[in-house]
Chain A
Amino acid sequence: MGKQLIQTHRFPNGLTLVTESMLDVQSAAFSILVPAGSIYDPADRRGTASILSDLISRGAGPYNSEQLSCALDDLGVQRHEGVSSGHITFSGATLADNLAETLKLYALILRAPHLPENQFDASRAGVAQSLLSVEDDARQKALVELKRHAFPAPWGLPSDGELDHLALITIEDVQQHYQTSFHPDDTIIGVAGNIDFEQVKQQIEEIFGDWQPSEGREEPALDFETEKQFFTEQETTQTHLGIAYDAVPYGHPDYYAAWAAVGILSGGMSARLFTEVREKRGLCYTVSASLTGMPGLGRVLCYAGTTSERAQETLDVTLQELTRLGEGIEESELERCKARAKSSLIMSQESTSSRAASIARDWFYLKHITTLDQINEEIQQLTTERVLGYIHAHPAANFTVLTIGPQPLEVPSDIS
C-alpha cells in the first residue's frame, strides 16, 4: 500500500485530532464526529438530534445562515452534515489551501451556533419531510425498520427520529441537546489530504483549545427486542425483504473473518447471493448482505426486493444460502474477497474524503488507527478454515425477518 503518514494528537480538553498526509493530491477533507447522535434523544422526543443537525448550520458567530453558506461556497467546500446513532457528523472536502479557513468556519458552527428560534419550525418541517420520504420509499423503509429491530434501542432507532414525536420537540429541547452534547471530549476530528500535521495541530489548538469539556453524561441503556418477525402491509409493486442475524463488531479479533464470510455471500457479482438468487433463478434485481454494527455489537443485514408472487421463494432461497455457508467455503471464494479488499484499500488512497471518514471512524471504534497495510495483512492471512470456524461459532441463525408489501410471508420454523 505504501507508507501512510498517520498522526494523532489528543488535546488537554479531550478533543482528538487524527490526520493522514497524502502528498500527491491537491485536496484536503475532514470528518468531525461530535457525540451528539440520536441515541441521546429524550425517549419521547426522537428527532431532537436530527433537528439540531439541521439548525446548527443556520448561522454561527458573525454569520447568518445565508452568509455562512456563501462563505463555505466561496471556499469551494463540498459539505455534508448529518446525524447517525452516535454522532452529529460534519464532513467536507476542498482544495488543501482552503482547509485552514474552512476549519475556522466549522469552529464557529460547533462552538457558536445561533440555533435561531425563528428557524426552528423550518428545521423541524425539514426533518418531517425526510421521514415522510422514507415512508414513500419501501426499500429504504425496509432497511430502516430492519435496523430498528436488529439492534437494541436506542441504537437501532431511526436516527432521523420518529414522525409522531416531532410535534413535542421544542427549541429548548434542541438547545439543551446542544449544551449537553457539544463538547471537545469524545469529539474526533479526522483530516486527510495534502496537509502538514504540525500546522493543522496548531490551528486546531488555536480554534478549539479553550473549548470546555463536558461534565460527563450517562450512556443510554440498551433495550433488546424480543420479537423476530415483522410485516408491514403496503401497496407496492415489489415485496421488500429484510433479514438480520448476529455477527461480531468492528474491533473484534474475528472481525475480518466475519467480513470475509459476508464477502463470500455478497461481495461482488460472483458472490453467492447474487449468483443463486439473481443469476440462477432470476428472482430479483437487488439482493445484498452487509456487515454493520455499533460499539460492541455486529449484525449482518440482508435486503432483497422481488415481485410479490415470487417473494416467498426469494425468502426461502436467501435463507438457505445464508445457512448453507456453514457447510463449507471454497478457497477461490476467499481469494476473491482478498483481491477485492486489496484493490479497494489501494483505491481508497485516491479519495481524501474516504480517508478522513475512515480514520475518524477508526478512532471512535478502536481508539487507534489501523493502517491500510495492517488491514490488508489481516485479510491476506485469513484461511478458509478460519473463516469457516468463525461461521460455525457465529452461525446464520436466529433471524430477524421483515417484509413490506401486499402480503405477509411465511418464515420456515426450522430455520428461524
Chain B
Amino acid sequence: MIFHEAKLDNGLQIIAELNPNAHSLALGYFVRTGSRDETAEVSGVSHFLEHMAFKGNEKYTADDVNRIFDEIGANYNASTSEEITLFYGSFLPEYIDTAMELLSTLIYPTLRQEDFDMEKKVILEEIGMYDDLHSFTAYEKVMQAHFQGHPLGQSILGSVQSITDLTSEQMRDYHAKHYLAGNLTLAIAGNADWIKVLELADKFCKHWPAGKTDRPTDEAQPKTGTQTIIEKKTQQQHIMQLGPAPAAQDLLRLPAEILAVVIGDDSNSRMYWKLVDPGLAESAEIGFNEYDGSGTWLTYLCSDPELTESNLQLIQEIFNEVNQNGITQEELDRAKNKLASRLVLRSERPMGRLSSLGGNWVYRQKYYSVEDDLELLNNISLDDIQTLLKKYPLGHSTTAAVGPMTSVVD
C-alpha cells in the first residue's frame, strides 16, 4: 500500500491508498455538506441535491449518466448524512478515465427544472418509504429531540412540506454556496496509477470554484427529556435513546468504539447476554456515532411492548454497572480482537477501505493505514476506558419510541 496526497490550486484535496494487486478501484468524492449545513427553509436540500447530481450536465443527460456507469460495469451510488454527501463507485482499473469523468460530472450538475420536478416525486416517495420503517422514524425523532436547537437535529430527508415547497433556485443557491472545491476530498483506494489520478483530477476538477465554507462545531448540550411517538399498528416497540459521547476529533473516539462493542455489540456483549440471548428483545444494541464537534451513544431496543419497561431497566442497570466499575481486561482484549478482525477483513476490498480513508481525511486531515489503525487499537488501555466513562458515561438524554405504548418510563 502506498499513500499519496495532493491539493489542486482551487483547494480540492486528493488522497489515494494504492495497491497494484487489487482487482478493482474505489473512488469517492466526499463533500463536506449535509443536513446540519441547511436552514429550515431548505430542509432536505443536501439529500435532494445528491439525487439531482445523477441528472447530469450540459454534456451528459440523466440517461447518459446511468447508461455509461452501467456500460463500465460500475457499482456506484451516493449517500447523504448530517455532515457528508458522498458520491462513490467501484470499477475495474481500466475504466478510470470514464469513472473519473462521470463522478466529476455528478458534482456540478445542471439542475434542469424538469428533472427537478420529476425527482421531487421520487424524494417524496423516499420519505414515504422511510415512514414505513419504524426504526428510522425513531432515529429521526430522537435526533431531532436530542439536538434540539443544534444543527445536528435537522432531518436529512426533510419533510413532505419542506420538499414540496423547495424551489430549484434555492437548490442552486445551496449548491453554489457549498460545492466549493475546498469542501471536497477525492479519495481513491485500490489499483490505480497516482500520476494518472492527478492528470484526471486536473482535467476534470481544476475549473471548480475555489473556496471553503465553515460550519459551527460547538458541542451540543442536549437537555434531558423524553419524546414519545405512538404508532399503534406495529407489533414491536422500537426505542431509540441518545446520550452525549466523544466527537470525531476527540482522542476518546477509539475507546468509545471499543466500549460500544463490549457493551452493546450484536453478539457476545453485555446487552446481548442480558436481553437478546434470553429472548427478551429482538435487538438491544449500543453504538457510537461521531460528528464534527459532537458525538452520541445510540441505544436501540426492539422488543415485545410488554417487556419494554423491564428491558429499559435492564439496560440502565448495565450502564450503571459499567459507569461505576468499568469493564474487565478480558472484555477489552476481546473487543480489540473483534474490531481488529473486522478492520482487516473489510480492508481486503478497495470499497471497504474507501470510507475509512475518506472519513479520516475529512474529519481529521490524517491518513491511517490498516497497520496504523491496528496499532492505535492495540494501545487502548483500561485507563482510557475509565477516562472516557468519566467524561461521557453511558446513558441517554433523549428517548424516542415508536409502537403501541402510550408512554415510556424514562
Q: List residues of A whose CB falls within 8 A of some B CB.
A: 24-27, 58, 65-66, 69-70, 72-74, 76-79, 93-95, 119, 121-126, 128-130, 132-133, 135-139, 234-238, 240, 267-271, 274-275, 278-286, 305-307, 332, 335-336, 339-344, 346-347, 349-352
Contact = CB atoms under 8 A, between A and B. Distances in A.
Interface stretch (B117-125, B141-149, B378-386): B117-125
Given A69-B268, A94-B341, A307 B128 contact: yes
B42 interface: no
A41 B160 CA distance: 46
A78 B350 CA distance: 19
B166 interface: no
B281 A129 contact: yes
Contacts of A268: 66, 69-70
Nearest to B272: A69
A25 B126 CA distance: 39
B195 interface: no
Nearest to A278: B122
Nearest to B119: A282
Contact of B345 (A27, A122, A126, A238): A27
Given A26-B348, A95-B344, A285 B334 contact: no
B371 to A, nearest CB: 12
A95 B279 contact: no
B354 to A, nearest CB: 13
A339 B125 contact: no
Contact of A124 (B67, B75, B279, B282): B279
A264 to B, nearest CB: 11
Given A78-B345, A285-B125, A305-B125, A122 B279 contact: yes
Given A135-B235, A282-B121, A347 B54 contact: no
A285 B338 CA distance: 36
B80 interface: no
B58 interface: no
A343 B73 contact: yes
A132 B348 contact: no
Given A73-B338, A76-B337, A122-B277, 19 more contacts: A26-B344, A58-B277, A65-B277, A66-B268, A73-B334, A76-B338, A94-B345, A95-B344, A125-B278, A269-B54, A270-B67, A274-B66, A282-B120, A285-B125, A286-B129, A336-B70, A343-B73, A350-B22, A350-B350
Interface string B100-141: 000000000000000000111110111011011110000000
B247 interface: no
B124 A129 contact: no
B338 to A, nearest CB: 5
A237 to B, nearest CB: 4
Given A122-B278, A138-B132, A340-B70, A307 B63 contact: no
Given A125-B280, A136-B236, A336 B71 contact: yes
B341 A76 contact: yes
Nearest to A354: B349
10 contacts: A27-B345, A125-B279, A133-B282, A238-B129, A270-B63, A279-B66, A282-B119, A335-B71, A336-B71, A350-B23
Contact of B66 (A269, A283, A305, A335): A269
Q: Name, among B63, B70, B118, B119, the residue most crowded by chain A CB atoms within 10 Å (CB to CB).
A: B70
Contacts of A286: 129
Given A237-B131, A269-B66, A126 B282 contact: yes
Interface of B: 21-24, 54, 62-63, 66-67, 69-75, 90-92, 118-122, 124-126, 128-129, 131-134, 233-236, 267-268, 273, 276-282, 302-304, 334, 337-338, 340-342, 344-345, 348-350
Contacts of B66: 268-270, 274-275, 279
Contact of B23 (A74, A307, A349): A349
Nearest to A344: B73
A138 to B, nearest CB: 5
Contacts of A78: 341-342, 345
A132 B236 contact: yes
Nearest to A57: B267
B302 A350 contact: no
Contact of B276 (A70, A126, A132): A126
B125 A342 contact: no
Contacts of B344: 26-27, 95
A239 to B, nearest CB: 9
Contacts of A342: 73, 92
Question: Quick one: which of B23, B268, B304, B337 has the most chain A CB within 10 A?
Answer: B23
B348 A284 contact: no
Contacts of B350: 350
Q: Which 9 A-B residue pairs are closest in the complex by CB-CB distance?
A: A125-B279, A343-B73, A76-B341, A282-B121, A129-B282, A122-B279, A339-B73, A268-B70, A269-B66
B281 A70 contact: no
Nearest to A134: B235
Contacts of B70: 267-271, 336, 339-340
A285 B122 contact: yes
B345 A93 contact: yes
B334 A74 contact: yes
A282 B118 contact: yes
A382 to B, nearest CB: 15
Nearest to A136: B234
A171 B28 CA distance: 51
Contacts of B63: 270, 275, 279
B380 to A, nearest CB: 17
B67 A336 contact: yes
B348 A27 contact: yes
A305 B126 CA distance: 9
A95 B280 CA distance: 33
Contacts of A240: 132
Contacts of B282: 126, 129-130, 132-133
> Which of A65, A66, A237 has the most CB atoms of chain B within a 10 A radius of its CB?
A237
Contacts of B124: 307
Contacts of B54: 269
A307 B133 CA distance: 14
A121 B337 contact: no
Contacts of A279: 62-63, 66, 118
Among B276, B337, B341: residue with most chain A CB under 10 A:
B341
A73 B23 contact: no
Contacts of A76: 337-338, 340-341
Contacts of A58: 277
Contacts of B92: 342-343, 346-347
A352 B277 contact: no
Contacts of B121: 281-283
Given A132-B236, A339-B70, A126 B119 contact: no
Given A73-B334, A350-B22, A235 B128 contact: no
Nearest to A348: B23
Contact of B273 (A66, A123, A269, A281): A66
A78 B346 CA distance: 11
B338 A133 contact: no
A235 B233 contact: yes
Nearest to B281: A129
A129 B278 CA distance: 12
